[in-house]
Amino acid sequence: MKQAKTSKAWMREHVNDFFVKQARKDGYRSRAAYKLLEIAEHDRLLKPGMIVVDLGATPGSWSQVVSSKVGAKGKVIALDILEMLPLPGVEFIQDDFREESAVLELKKRLGARQPDLVISDMAPNISGIVVSDQAKSMHLAELALAFSMEHLHYDGSFLVKVFQGLDFDQFLREMRTGFKKVMIRKPKASRDRSSELYLLGIGKK
Ramachandran assignment for 167, one of left (phi > 0), alpha (psi -120 to 50 degrees), beta (any other):
left
Residue 17 is predicted with a pLDDT of 85
Q: How far apart are CA 141 and CA 134, in angstroms?
A: 11
Q: Which residues are catalytic?
A: 161
Q: How far apart are CA 42 and CA 90, in angstroms?
A: 24
Q: How many C-alpha atoms does 104 have within 13 Å on its Cβ side?
A: 3
Of the pLDDT bands very low, low, confident and very high (cuts 50, 70, 90), residue 8 is low
26 has a pLDDT exceeding 50: yes
Q: How far apart are CA 79 and CA 73, in angstroms?
A: 20
168 has a pLDDT exceeding 60: yes
Mean pLDDT across the stretch 163-181?
94
Mean pLDDT across the stretch 36-44?
97
Of the pLDDT bands very low, low, confident and very high (cuts 50, 70, 90), residue 10 is very low
